[in-house]
Amino acid sequence: MNQNNIIELTKLCSNNSLLVVNKQGIYRLYCPFKAVCIQEVQSYIIGQEVIVIAVKMSIDYRLVYVIKGEGYYHHYFMIISKATAVQTTFN
């Protein structure tokens, strides 16, 4: 990833929201939001609900959820917050 791509990416990203793509389009989901564990990681078991308080990017450009002050890669969790959390829609 070159410097221009990183600059553009940081314009779209923030620690308190996430861009989500689904069948209805693209929307911004603001923290905190609910997620459920889909793969065991540290003390979390499959099916356990968590609250994501922030989103970050690792140094290797992977999405990280901050849960209870600790960072976990997003692929261990599935977002379960309803569409009512949507505050900004992009068309």
Q: Give the pLDDT means over successive 10-residue stretches in the chain (91 positions).
A: 66 78 80 96 96 91 94 96 52 44
In whole angstroms, give the CA distance from residue 79 to residue 11: 23
Please state the domain extents for the chain: 3-90
In whole angstroms, give the CA distance from residue 86 to residue 51: 16
The residue whose two tokens read 């609910």 is 34
Cβ proximity of 67 and 54 under 8 Å: no
Q: What is the pLDDT of residue 61?
A: 82
Q: What is the pLDDT of residue 35?
A: 96
| End-to-end C-alpha distance for the chain, whole angstroms | 26
Q: What is the pLDDT of residue 9?
A: 63
In whole angstroms, give the CA distance from residue 9 to residue 83: 24
Considering the entire predicted model, what is its pTM? 0.77
How many beta carbons lie within 10 A of that of residue 14, not counting itself? Answer: 14
Q: What is the CA radius of gyration of the chain?
A: 14
Locate 46 and state its tokens.
């499959």
